[in-house]
Amino acid sequence: KAGVTQTPRYLIKTRGQQVTLSCSPISGHRSVSWYQQTPGQGLQFLFEYFSETQRNKGNFPGRFSGRQFSNSRSEMNVSTLELGDSALYLCASSWGTGAQEETQYFGPGTRLLVL
Amino acid sequence: QKEVEQDPGPLSVPEGAIVSLNCTYSNSAFQYFMWYRQYSRKGPELLMYTYSSGNKEDGRFTAQVDKSSKYISLFIRDSQPSDSATYLCGFNKFYFGSGTKLNVKP
């Protein structure tokens, strides 16, 4: 079974630009969660989508947004990029319901550098 | 006080040593406990999952949960150089420790 895939793997942007990252979950998984990982703050939860609806949200500004499509693929968008947005962005997928729903499988991440 | 505290390390041990990794937490709502391993330039990989106090063993790995003390541990027996990675504790799906970097020397 194919794992979680993320594209692109690397991105360089300048301040003020916007960026869109993509995530394809494991087949059959309906929940996709997004995280930001930095050396200083660690792994921080952005939001979770389940069946095309945002189900949970972390404590990030509105510049960070996401969506999920009917095939469970998800995108996240960051508008008006700031230097502090430089990070590894990870998505993770899970079944979305049922036993052990808390277990999730991470993709390799998209490394974003904002100059 | 942060909800999750995890010693960042780095922790350096010789091959074959027993490794103990720990996290403390303050949120009583945490009921599910995970350990992830993250190699450099990779996403975290789920190692252990448990929801009850006590020990859970899987090969060389043992996860220990003490809900009364709000303390979880991961023990690695007979550590190998391939265990060199960052280990993150996870709680209730969305909450994580900052990770402990482990280096196992041959």
Q: Model confidence over B52-105: pLDDT tens digits?
A: 889 999 999 999 999 999 999 999 999 999 999 999 999 999 999 999 999 999
The predicted structure's pLDDT at residue B94: 94
In whole angstroms, give the CA distance from residue B98 to residue A111: 18
User: Which of A60, A102, A103, A110 should we substitute to test contact with B (largest number of B Cβ atoms within 10 Å)?
Assistant: A102
Tens digit of each residue's pLDDT (9 = 90 or more) over A60-79: 999 999 999 999 999 999 99
The predicted structure's pLDDT at residue A49: 97
**Cβ separation B44–A48 shorter than 8 A:** no
The predicted structure's pLDDT at residue A1: 65
Lowest mean pLDDT among A57-61, B2-6, B21-25: B2-6
The predicted structure's pLDDT at residue A97: 80
CA of A61 to nearest chain B CA: how many angstroms apart? 17
Classified as helix, coil or strand, A27 is: coil
**Cβ separation A102–B97 shorter than 8 A:** no
Question: Please, which residues 10-39 of chain A have a Cβ atom closer than 8 Å to chain B?
Answer: 33
Structure tokens at B75: 């023990």
| A59 and B CB contact within 8 Å | no
- Strands A10-13 and A110-114 turn out to be parallel
Q: What is the band of A48 on the pLDDT scale with cuts at 50, 70, 90? A: very high
Q: Is the pLDDT of residue A101 over 80?
A: no
Tens digit of each residue's pLDDT (9 = 90 or more) over B16-39: 999 999 999 999 999 999 999 999
When pLDDT is averaged across residues B43-55 and rounded to a whole number, the result is 92
**Cβ separation A90–B34 shorter than 8 A:** no
* Whether the Cβ atoms of residue B46 and residue B33 lie closer than 8 Å to each other: no
